[in-house]
Chains A and B, each alone.
Chain A
Amino acid sequence: MAIKDYIRERFFPHIWCPGCGHGTVMNSLLRALESLGMSRNEIVMVSGIGCSSRISGYVDFHTLHTIHGRALAFATGVKLSRPELNLIVPMGDGDALAIGGNHFIHAARRNIDITAIVMNNRIYGMTGGQFSPLSGYGTMATTAPYSNIDHAFDTVELAIAAGATFVARSTSYHVKQLSKILRDAILHEGFSVVEVLSQCPTYFGRKNRAGSAVDMMEQYKNDTTPIGSKAKKENPDLIERGIFVQKEMPEYCREYDKIIEKAMKGN
């Protein structure tokens, strides 16, 4: 199937701003799915609220556009009740890690087979540029007019600590790597987290004098490095890209199958 067979063309052009990284994340995700040759009927996309969450309207799968921060909880219900379905949950940084932070760590802890994508643009875009838990100390936002004193989470470290069995990071610049990582994340049996640095030129870029979408992508190119690279040793400020964790652990729905087996034997 061609990539356009996976989208609802009638809703294009989409609502994202010119140069928004989220469109590129969708692009890479569709290519990952295309390369896997997955049928549209076996994919359920669950999203929350925010710019990122609008992705569910554009893709031709079973799509569930839910409430702010709760996408993973809805997805858990879908997955556990029909484990054969493939669950993809794209979220924004605020959606996943502020209002949805609790669901994020608990989904990771259970190791339920869901692919969580954190489209990290370091800002609340839909509401016009407020700081998020990933904006970082010293950034500017409409709710941090004197600069932000909140420290950021490290999504990767948080996901690892919470027990996610696949954890990776890439950017909207590194599209080939991103597509490959998303593919691996979907194939992984267990809870996978892919953080994608995704530029918001409209709010984060403007507020923080980061320039255009192109400038911000240049930054992704220059400020990131493959995991464990020599460059990282020389410059610890570089952000690492790649797959941090990929391990086999019992998956939640499979574990529950065992519970059913036990319970039915006792009957």
Chain B
Amino acid sequence: MGKLKLKEHVITREWCKGCGICVHFCPKQVLELDDQDKVFAARREDCICCELCELRCPDLAIEIETEQGSE
């Protein structure tokens, strides 16, 4: 069994209000706000799939899609 691997940051842009909670608390500084104050994955390769952004988002605007990685 491999580790969970990131497939995609699924972001519902229309729901994101740009509060920055996910950006601030991301342990790997993966996320940033764009010029319209919407979140995007600026360094997706650093994501460790801890899902804290998804769990803390007050707007249900971010979802971490994962897949089973190979050893």
Contacts and interface: CB of A to CB of B under 8 A. Distances in A.
B17 to A, nearest CB: 4
Contact of B55 (A19, A179, A212, A214): A179
A169 interface: no
Contact of B14 (A13, A175, A214): A13
Contact of B58 (A3, A4, A24): A24
Contacts of B14: 12-13
B56 A24 contact: yes
A265 B56 CA distance: 54
B21 A13 contact: no
Interface residues of A, number: 29
A244 interface: no
Interface residues of B, number: 18
A172 B59 CA distance: 13
A34 B20 CA distance: 26
A213 interface: yes
A213 B21 contact: yes
B55 A23 contact: no
Interface in B9-55: 12, 14-15, 17-21, 24-25, 52, 55
Contact of B60 (A3, A22, A179): A3
A14 B55 contact: no
Interface of B: 12, 14-15, 17-21, 24-25, 52, 55-61
9 contacts: A4-B60, A12-B14, A12-B60, A18-B19, A20-B58, A24-B21, A28-B55, A212-B20, A217-B25
Interface of A: 3-4, 7, 12-14, 16-24, 26-28, 30-31, 172-173, 175-176, 179, 212-214, 217
